[in-house]
Amino acid sequence: MNLYFLGTGAGLPAKHRNVSSIALELLEERGSIWLFDCGEATQHRILYTNIKPAKIEKIFITHLHGDHIYGLPGLLGTRSFHGAESPLVIYGPPGIKAFVEQTLKLSFTHLKYPLITKEIFDDETVFEDDQFIVKVKKLEHGIPSFGYRIIEKDLPGTLLADRLKEIGVKPGPIYKKLKNGETVQIADGRVLNGKDFLGPVKKGRIVSILGDTRYCKQSVGLSKDADVLVHEATFAKDEELLAYNYFHSTTVQAAQIALEANAKTLWLTHISSRYQGEEDCQMLLAEARAVFPEANLAHDFLCVPIPKK
């Protein structure tokens, strides 16, 4: 599992930061990629990575401001040109379905794969299977903006193969059944419960990716005990009033959310283009770390591994 920052700027593209997009690589877990927001030129950013559009399984849109969605129609078309046939699901606020359908229709873009668009609402589970749960909450922004909480379900413990060999159970199909926690009877009549031969359960990871927002308690709830929290930090701490008026957050406010939520690490993104150069970056980072020492400042093309627990 890796987080790949494709665009970390705010509002408009800049030479050093493109507009918002983050890829969550789940190649080991499910052989696919989930994309969070798709600002203008996202597919151009993808060209400089190992991300294949055909591998994108889901796209989660936080809100409908242009710097988060203007790259979507082009990417959808490119995925088709690349020969993708697997379904793609887009999640987003009310209006995302009309935006996608109208842009594809007016540009005469015909997709070769099934496209499903699901509009999301406050405080709901938008996706769940045997591996992951994705929950959303509405944040505080000028238009409906959402945060996503991605929860990996706990994984079963490692099969204690050495212990099985000690009691005379040789490797074979029975190991798979025991690994699944099943109860099986072996050739000599003994009945073995798979749960007795498994190590401790491996706790799943939690990743919280929040859309544009003011400081709000909903952000804390979405980020509770997250292994990784991605939070916007459009402004420096001395621009708190400006951040409030524009429905955004400062570095310190993002750090405070991480602190209150007991997150493990914080990645700051959606940085205003007024902050340029290494000196500005170090200033923003220092402000956040003064509140939350595990804060980090994201930049375009940064890949962040999220190791298993």
Question: What tens-digit pLDDT sequence spans the chain (309 residues)?
Answer: 999 999 999 999 998 999 999 999 999 999 999 999 999 999 999 999 999 999 999 999 999 999 999 999 999 999 999 999 999 999 999 999 999 999 999 999 999 999 999 999 999 999 999 999 999 999 999 999 999 999 999 988 889 999 999 998 989 889 988 988 889 998 888 999 988 999 888 899 999 999 999 999 999 999 999 999 999 999 999 999 999 999 999 999 999 999 999 999 999 999 999 999 999 999 999 999 999 999 999 999 999 999 988
According to the model, what pLDDT value does residue 289 have?
98
From residue 130, how far is each of 155, 208, 226 by CA, in Å?
A: 10, 19, 20
Q: Does residue 21 contact residue 37 with C-beta atoms inside 8 Å?
A: yes
According to the model, what pLDDT value does residue 36 have?
98
Phi, psi torsion values for 261, nearest 5 degrees:
-85, -10
According to the model, what pLDDT value does residue 212 have?
98
Question: Counting Cβ atoms within 10 Å, is residue 276 exposed (0-12), middle (13-18) or buried (19+)?
Answer: middle
From residue 67, how far is each of 21, 64, 147 by CA, in Å?
A: 9, 8, 16
Residue 182 in 3-state DSSP?
coil
Residues making up the binding site for Zn(2+)? 63, 65, 67-68, 141, 212, 270
Give the pair of three-digit tokens for residue 231: 């939070």
Give the C-alpha separation, 242 to 246, whole Å.
6
According to the model, what pLDDT value does residue 63 have?
98
According to the model, what pLDDT value does residue 45 have?
97
Give the C-alpha separation, 216 to 284, whole Å.
20
According to the model, what pLDDT value does residue 309 have?
80
According to the model, what pLDDT value does residue 181 have?
85
Element (H, E) at 252: helix 251-261
According to the model, what pLDDT value does residue 222 have?
98
Q: Is 188 a catalytic residue?
A: no
List domains and CATH numbers for the chain. Answer: 2-155+205-305 (3.60.15.10), 161-197 (no CATH)
